[in-house]
Chain A
Amino acid sequence: MATRTVSRAPSRPSDALTLEKKVELYYWMRLTRSLEERLVNLYRQTKVVGGLFRSLGQEADAVGSAFALDRAAGDILSPLIRNLGSMLVQGAQPLEIIRQYMAKGDSPTRGRELNIHFGDTVRGFVGQISHLGDMVPVMAGVTLSFKLRGEKRVGLVYVGDGATSTGAFHEGINFAAVQRCPLVVIVENNGYAYSTPNTKQSAVKEFKDKALAYGIPGIRADGNDVLATYDVTREAVDRARRGEGVTLIELMTYRRKGHAEHDNQSYVPAGEIDKWETQNDPIDRYARVLVEELQVDRKELEAIDARVSTEIDAATDLAEQSPAAEPTDALVGVYAQPPAVQPLWYRAGVRSAVEKHERAAGWGTYNG
């Protein structure tokens, strides 16, 4: 069992985590970071199709919050672009992520949608869309279904500081609050929405204060402290499961990379990134907690790092061998019925009248 330290408040939810579980948190954060680093390599080799979105420096908030859900109970989350870690915790595989980024035919979306935009309700994550804030109403509905059916399940939705400005965020959280849906809304405050700083996003000083307007609790926590993130989320998850409704959590973190890999971050004040990297890296911080407070052998963490490397190498090799997407598969699955859209006639292998220098079959049969 974990050793409780005197500097922390007593009976935090994370106190109940076994040391093995606490070490597992390190694994998920390391996996997130190393997987993204591999994706950067693939991106530079032009093997990634589309942009690459990093969560460097934000791994703790995604992992710690997702870890507070009960996968056995069927809890579901909806990640944002910087919540790869939360998807991994829910069971997304590195191989799936790499195949997605490489637009492979056997990727989870079979080449339909980019990057980590995919979902699996069985494993407990719902695929996001690019329109920020939209997943709040959707997750309000997912959790409304739990309430209507009397299921003791909980939903969690991530939004960024920027998405709190959208109408969808407001309408979704308001709906969920009125209906007392078992929903946790996490505002990941990483300082920037693309290049826009928080001061240009909202006049509130703290995003948690927006909770007041919905009649729900709003809590702020250190998103770069994985255990603090776990604690605050777990309390909100427990509230939701008890039928006490929605909680808004603001997790303070920092986006050390640009909006996507192409972004040169020219808008960031000098020294800001370095400061976060050297003084507030969530993985470094947690490694120190594990080694210095919980007496985990540093070699054990190094072994995890090695294991993560091996897993990512294996996934990369497999993904590289994956087939490209099949063009005609693009027509499949718009509807349940019909199962496929008809190909355009000039793509269907029928030569046009012009090419044949004659009329196509059935053409000009009118005899009146």
Chain B
Amino acid sequence: MAEITYLEAIREALFEEMERDGNVFCMGEDIGAYGGAFKVTEGLMAKYGEQRVIDTPISEAGFVGAAAGASHMGMRPVVEMQFIDFISCAYDMLTNYIATARYRAFLPCPLVVRGPSGGYVRGGPFHSQNPEAAFLHTPGLKIVYPATASDAKGLLKAAIRDDDPVLFFEHKYLYRRIKEEMPQGDHVVPIGKARIAREGTDVSIITYAATVWKALEAAEQLQKEDGLSVEVLDLRTLLPMDDEAIVATVKKTNRVLIVHEDTRTGGVAGEITARINEHAFEWLDAPILRVTAADVPLPFAPPLEDYVLPQVADIVSVARRLAAY
């Protein structure tokens, strides 16, 4: 089997799921004949027609709401945000209507909202966002943010089959930069299970999405230069969070660094820290540290963006302090 990119893996998942289940259909801006801003849905309309691959008006609240209605009736809509930054336009629909539907009205909402997320691409404040923390606080949603091509495919297939609404964040920096051979057959990765991306015994780095690769690079450098054994835990799913895997790595290394690309205040790292505090406080040999973006809107000029976002050198330097504590 040939290697395919992260982006192609997502496309493959869409083709396979549309083929498998006639209730699956796609909606979004420019996803049909054009194939989407990043070409994720290229070829879908040619194969499945404009009934199942719907080009929508520019109206995120409108078509996310429509996805909810269709999902109540047994359809399985997969909605694309042209850039995930625009998901805020559908925030009301997602948090007030969709997230509460099963609880308050016993209405199933099996839908997926997916889209290109994240920075390191000089996209500026409205084409680089990581909105996961804004939704982590909403019971009723699930949040997935894969770091590898095979996870992107397997988790998207799981998200489409899930009976609950799933926000599926795709890191656009990874779209065409990583390649992998897909596992054979019907490759489905369960939602809610983290993955150890690298085994280690001295320090744990807990992260997800593009910073998994930064953490792996840092781990390699720390091994070579300091002889430190760094474990990297890729969360894959943020909601529900894999507490078991988090506690296991804390118990193994007793030192925790959390890395995420999103801004610091109110970010996912704070939640992970609280959970470790509740479940494994006495296993810690050092305070939990964070490497995150600075608390600013993301600027686009290369020197500014590089300064704001977490870099390998930041992870190396903070991990060294942690190991020496």
Q: Are B64 and A337 in contact (CB under 8 A)?
A: no
Task: From the candidates B61, B103, B105, B162, name the one contacting A334 in the complex (CB within 8 A).
Answer: B103
With A141-B65, A334-B103: A368-B52 Cβ-Cβ less than 8 Å: no
Shortest Cβ gap from B242 to chain A (Å) = 13
Tell me, yes or no, whether A182 is within 8 Å of chain B by CB.
Answer: no
B residues less than 8 Å from A170 (CB atoms): 59, 62
Interface segment out of the listed B93-101, B172-180, B207-215, B312-320: B93-101
Tell me, yes or no, whether B75 is within 8 Å of chain A by CB.
Answer: yes
Interface segment out of the listed B3-11, B66-74, B216-224: B66-74
Q: Report B32-55 CB contacts with A as 1/0, cut-off 8 Å.
A: 000000000000000000011010
Q: Report B80-115 CB contacts with A as 1/0, cut-off 8 Å.
A: 000000000000110011001011111110000000
A341 to B240, CA, bound (A): 11
A residues less than 8 Å from B105 (CB atoms): 109, 113, 117-119, 126-127
Q: Are A137 and B61 in contact (CB under 8 A)?
A: yes
For the residues of A in contact with B, the DSSP-based class is loop
Task: From the candidates A140, A168, A174, name the one contacting B69 in the complex (CB within 8 A).
Answer: A140
Question: Which A residues between 294 and 341 are near B, CB-CB below 8 angstroms?
Answer: 333-338, 341
17 contacts between A and B (CB under 8 A): A109-B104, A137-B66, A137-B68, A138-B97, A140-B65, A142-B69, A145-B73, A171-B59, A171-B61, A175-B59, A175-B63, A176-B66, A178-B57, A336-B163, A341-B139, A363-B282, A366-B283
Q: Are A175 and B66 in contact (CB under 8 A)?
A: yes
B residues less than 8 Å from A179 (CB atoms): 54
Shortest Cβ gap from B26 to chain A (Å) = 12
Q: Are A119 and B140 in contact (CB under 8 A)?
A: no
B residues less than 8 Å from A334 (CB atoms): 102-103, 139-140
With A112-B104, A138-B69, A333-B103: A145-B74 Cβ-Cβ less than 8 Å: yes
Q: Are B65 and A368 in contact (CB under 8 A)?
A: no
Residue of A nearest to B74 (CB): A145
A residues less than 8 Å from B59 (CB atoms): 170-171, 174-175
Q: Are A365 and B54 in contact (CB under 8 A)?
A: no
Shortest Cβ gap from A49 to chain B (Å) = 15
Q: Are A167 and B69 in contact (CB under 8 A)?
A: no
Tell me, yes or no, whether B204 is within 8 Å of chain A by CB.
Answer: no
Q: Are B62 and A137 in contact (CB under 8 A)?
A: yes
Residue of A nearest to B139 (CB): A334
Task: From the candidates B70, B103, B107, B164, name the one contacting A126 in the complex (CB within 8 A).
Answer: B107
A196 to B75, CA, bound (A): 39
Question: Which A residues between 341 and 355 are near B, CB-CB below 8 angstroms?
Answer: 341
Q: Are B97 and A134 in contact (CB under 8 A)?
A: yes
B residues less than 8 Å from A140 (CB atoms): 62, 65-66, 69
Q: Which among B51, B62, B64, B77 has the highest number of chain A CB atoms within 10 Å?
A: B62
Counted as pairs of residues, one from A and one from B, with CB atoms less than 8 Å apart, the total is 144
Residue of A nearest to B278 (CB): A345
Tell me, yes or no, whether B56 is within 8 Å of chain A by CB.
Answer: yes
Tell me, yes or no, whether B16 is within 8 Å of chain A by CB.
Answer: no
Q: Report A108-137 CB contacts with B as 1/0, cut-off 8 Å.
A: 010011000111010000110111001011
Shortest Cβ gap from A104 to chain B (Å) = 15
Task: From the candidates A130, A144, A167, name the one contacting B70 in the complex (CB within 8 A).
Answer: A144
A residues less than 8 Å from B77 (CB atoms): 141
B residues less than 8 Å from A109 (CB atoms): 104-105
Task: Place the interface of chain A in its size category.
Answer: 35 or more
A117 to B65, CA, bound (A): 18
A residues less than 8 Å from B142 (CB atoms): 335
4 nearest A-B residue pairs (beta carbon): A141-B69, A137-B65, A171-B62, A141-B66
Shortest Cβ gap from B157 to chain A (Å) = 16
A336 to B111, CA, bound (A): 13
B residues less than 8 Å from A146 (CB atoms): 73
A112 to B103, CA, bound (A): 7
Tell me, yes or no, whether A203 is within 8 Å of chain B by CB.
Answer: no
Tell me, yes or no, whether A73 is within 8 Å of chain B by CB.
Answer: no
Residue of A nearest to B52 (CB): A148
Residue of B nearest to A338 (CB): B240
Tell me, yes or no, whether B145 is within 8 Å of chain A by CB.
Answer: no
With A134-B65, A138-B66: A365-B282 Cβ-Cβ less than 8 Å: yes
Q: Report A44-73 CB contacts with B as 1/0, cut-off 8 Å.
A: 000000000000000000000000000000
Q: Are A129 and B108 in contact (CB under 8 A)?
A: no
B residues less than 8 Å from A336 (CB atoms): 102, 108, 162-164
A residues less than 8 Å from B51 (CB atoms): 148
A337 to B162, CA, bound (A): 9
Q: Are B254 and A368 in contact (CB under 8 A)?
A: yes
Besides A129-B100, A140-B62, A172-B61, 20 more A-B contacts (Cβ < 8 Å) are A117-B104, A118-B105, A129-B97, A130-B96, A137-B62, A137-B65, A137-B66, A138-B72, A138-B97, A141-B71, A167-B61, A168-B65, A170-B59, A171-B57, A172-B66, A333-B106, A334-B140, A336-B102, A336-B163, A341-B139
Q: Are B69 and A364 in contact (CB under 8 A)?
A: no
With A113-B105, A145-B70: A337-B164 Cβ-Cβ less than 8 Å: yes
A residues less than 8 Å from B282 (CB atoms): 363-366
A141 to B106, CA, bound (A): 17
Q: Are A141 and B70 in contact (CB under 8 A)?
A: yes
Residue of B nearest to A363 (CB): B282
Tell me, yes or no, whether B135 is within 8 Å of chain A by CB.
Answer: no
Tell me, yes or no, whether B168 is within 8 Å of chain A by CB.
Answer: no
A residues less than 8 Å from B75 (CB atoms): 145, 148
Tell me, yes or no, whether A189 is within 8 Å of chain B by CB.
Answer: no
B residues less than 8 Å from A143 (CB atoms): 69
B residues less than 8 Å from A113 (CB atoms): 104-105
Q: Are B61 and A138 in contact (CB under 8 A)?
A: no
Task: From the candidates A131, A142, A341, A364, name the one contacting B73 in the complex (CB within 8 A).
Answer: A142
